[in-house]
């Protein structure tokens, strides 16, 4: 692990670059700013994706030409708004949230963004909601974003596959865990969950996978990408 002062300097630099990129490439966004303010006022955990990561999610959904998006983990709806903005007319995003307080804030943020018509929030444990979606025989999703409790990631992947089609992109956030995922002696449940998730990706021949490490205002982490080749 780098010395603390070195890490502090690195994090300050990452944050400065994040700010530069956002100011250079992204216009002011009062809707997303209001969502963050509402999340803070409601004392939600400050674990939303960053503005640059939110734009990255939106771009991925656009490139994927996603008509149907599934999000596992809503929090205050910041990433939900970013993803839903990429939907074409008639598109739908289904987002799953466990905490009723988080869901209430998210629904207000989504409505303020003018996206209530395109977003369905399902409240309850994600595994139950995923099983219900499968039981309803919903149309497969084009993009699935997993950003919930990290120990649950290995349990979410099989359901994500059941709700996919060949060509679906499954994206999981926070899989690097500040580098902890590379330490076999790290027993933190979030690290263990992320490591197991990556091992499952690697072992599944139906998937083409990649991991991208990220640094920025949210620190050091990364995304895992899985392109569904077959079912």
Q: What percent of the chain has pLDDT over 90?
A: 94
pLDDT class of 10 with cuts at 50, 70, 90: confident
User: Rounded to the nearest 10 degrees, how much is the dihedral formed by the CA atoms of 100, 106, 109, 114?
Assistant: -110
Distance CA 164, CA 159 (A): 9
Over the stretch 37-96, which tens digit does the pLDDT of each residue have?
999 999 999 999 999 999 999 999 999 999 999 999 999 999 999 999 999 999 999 999
All structural domains of the chain, each given as residue ranges with its CATH number in brackets, are: 4-228 (3.40.50.150)
Q: In the prediction, which pLDDT does 3 show?
A: 55
205: left (phi over 0), alpha (psi -120 to 50) or beta: alpha
Evaluate if residue 4 carries a pLDDT over 60.
no
Distance CA 82, CA 70 (A): 13
DSSP 28: -
Distance CA 126, CA 146 (A): 11
Q: In the prediction, which pLDDT does 144 show?
A: 98
Say what the pTM is. Answer: 0.94
Q: In the prediction, which pLDDT does 5 show?
A: 64
- Rounded to 5 degrees, φ, ψ at 189 are -55, -35
Tokens found for residue 85 = 């903005």
> β-strands 143-146, 119-123: how paired?
unpaired
């Amino acid at each position: 692990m780098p010395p603390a002062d070195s890490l502090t300097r690195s994090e300050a630099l990452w944050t400065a670059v994040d700010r530069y990129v956002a100011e250079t490439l992204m216009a002011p966004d009062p809707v997303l700013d209001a969502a963050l303010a509402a999340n803070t006022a409601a004392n939600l955990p400050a674990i939303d994706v960053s503005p640059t990561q939110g734009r990255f999610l939106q771009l991925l959904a656009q490139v994927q030409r996603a008509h149907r998006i599934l999000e596992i983990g809503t929090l205050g709806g910041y990433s939900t708004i970013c993803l839903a903005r990429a939907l074409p007319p008639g598109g739908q995003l289904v987002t799953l949230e466990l905490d009723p307080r988080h869901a209430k804030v998210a629904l207000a943020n989504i409505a303020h963004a003018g996206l209530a018509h395109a977003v369905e929030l399902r409240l309850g444990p994600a595994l139950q909601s995923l099983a219900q979606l499968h039981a309803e025989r919903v149309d497969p999703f084009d993009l699935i974003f997993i950003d919930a409790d990290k120990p649950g990631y290995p349990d979410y992947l099989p359901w994500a596959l059941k709700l996919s089609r060949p060509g679906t992109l499954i994206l999981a956030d926070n899989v690097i865990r500040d580098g902890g995922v590379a330490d076999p002696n790290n027993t933190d449940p979030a690290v263990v969950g992320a490591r197991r998730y990556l091992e499952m990706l690697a072992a599944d021949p139906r998937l083409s996978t990649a991991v991208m490490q990220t640094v920025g205002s949210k620190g050091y982490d990364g995304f895992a990408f899985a392109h569904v080749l077959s079912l």
